[in-house]
Structure 1
Amino acid sequence: MTDKVLLFINGVPPKIIPNSSDYSLIACSDGAFHYLKEKGFPLDQLDFISGDFDSHSGSDENVYQAKFIYTPDQDKTDFEKSLEIIKEKGFEKVDVYGGSGGEMDHFLGNLTVAFLFKDDLKITFFDEYSTYFFAPKKLVLENIKNRMISLYPFPTTEKLTTKGLNWSLAQEKLDITNRIGTRNFAKEDDVIIEFETGNLVVFVGNKDQR
């Protein structure tokens, strides 16, 4: 078991639930609680459920009340409130499922929340198509030949250099209003991505693109 958190939030439910034994703490938002229940996830494995619980039944309240952390603040999303709890508990790595799909304003909002926590938490999102995260200034991706790689500035990334991608970059600038770097792919087993200033979201496709 690693010192890492598994967090489910209220986007499109994952088709495959990850192995819970790989995590030190497992949590969900109250919206995600419903799809976990429908999928037959062993709810006794949850360490906490965060939210305002306005959609929960009395039976849920009775059985899982000890796991509920009431977070009624309407100025913050359930995702943000869950990350605050995780940070307070001293964890640094968080794998997030249910962060994308469905209503795309939720997806963009979740990216913004991850940006707010990027200096304190290493947050990695997983969905049906890709894995994505805010990249450190130097990133090495291993064993990803032929995978789709998209580089998305948030909102700018400067002096960006890549090695191992089909369309390489050399000390270049990406800007959300002018130029982005989506739909590239790895032509080598290992890819190196480096930049000097700004912020960069990296998407790594789940499937071989050959």
Structure 2
Amino acid sequence: MIHHRYIGPEINIFLNGNPPHLSNKEINVFNTKINYVVDGAYNYVKNNNIKIDYIIGDFDSINNKINIVADINNKYQLIKTLNQNYTDFDKTLNIIYRKGFLNINVWGASGKEPDHFLGNLSTALKYKQKLSIIFYDNHSLYFFSKKQETLFIQQNKTISLFPFTKVTNLFAYGLKYPIKKKHYKLGNK
């Protein structure tokens, strides 16, 4: 089980990548948290009856803009962000951080366009020291670890370690193949 680094509430961000496959139980959990929906993610979040608290973006990817205007009048806060020098995800993380939230669950960051996925990772890397961000997709979860991290993973589960961009003196115990004082660099190992 992976836990966030900071004490405080968890916020969900839904991005416009591959929508997560959700059970009713998961949807009920989403509905107990604050949910930020970024631009085109509105389409699948609305279809899954997930509570929406904020919709953020330039709204260029929302299929039915007429419905969003009607819904906003009743339920959501709309935050229009037009600065094209930053991605909608970057603008959303900035807004959430300024509001004092530190624990972020991100859904829909992967899949669809690979440049968006890589951009999402790049954006999260900028916030690595400020926020605890855990990405979820339909296959796994991923995050940037701290210098020292203790993970409790169920036995016989796969874990992948990927240097972003350089890791020195890596020790990992409890794995099928322990790692002792190894150095990894992106593009090397």
Shared fold per TM-score greater than 0.5: yes
Q: For residues 116-131 of structure 1, what are the structure 2 equivalents within 5 Å?
A: 116-131=126-141
Q: In the alignment, which residue of structure 2 is the partner of 1:89?
A: 99
In structure 1, distance between residues paired with 2:148 and 2:166: 16
Q: Identity, % of aligned pairs?
A: 36
User: Which aligned runs of 4 or more in structure 1 are off by greater than 6 angstroms?
Assistant: none
Q: In the alignment, which residue of structure 1 is the partner of 2:14?
A: 8
In structure 1, distance between residues paired with 2:168 and 2:153: 26
Matched, 1:46 2:56: no
Q: For residues 175-190 of structure 1, what are the structure 2 equivalents within 5 Å?
A: 175-179=185-189
* CA deviation string 1:40-73 (max 9, x = no partner): x24xx32211001234523312321551101011
Matched, 1:63 2:104: no
Give the secondary structure class of the aligned counterpart of 2:134: strand
Structure 1: tracts of 5 or more residues without a match: 180-210
Q: Structure 2: which amino acid aligns with 1:134?
A: F
* CA deviation string 1:116-174 (max 9, x = no partner): 00111100001111110000111112142111110011111111010011122111111
Of residues 72, 85, 95, the one that matches 1:75 is 85
Q: Provide the aligned length of Structure 1 versus Structure 2.
A: 174
In structure 2, distance between residues paired with 1:105 and 1:73: 19
Q: Structure 1: which amino acid aligns with 2:44?
A: Y
Of residues 36, 39, 46, the one that matches 1:37 is 46
Write 1 or 2 for the structure with the bigger share of strand: 1
In structure 2, distance between residues paired with 1:3 and 1:79: 19
Give TM-score scaled by structure 1 length.
0.78
Structure 2: tracts of 5 or more residues without a match: 1-7
Alpha-carbon shift at residue 38 of structure 1 (Å): 2.3
Give the secondary structure class of the aligned counterpart of 2:86: coil
Matched, 1:141 2:151: yes
Q: Structure 1: which amino acid aligns with 2:36?
A: A
Give TM-score scaled by structure 2 length.
0.86
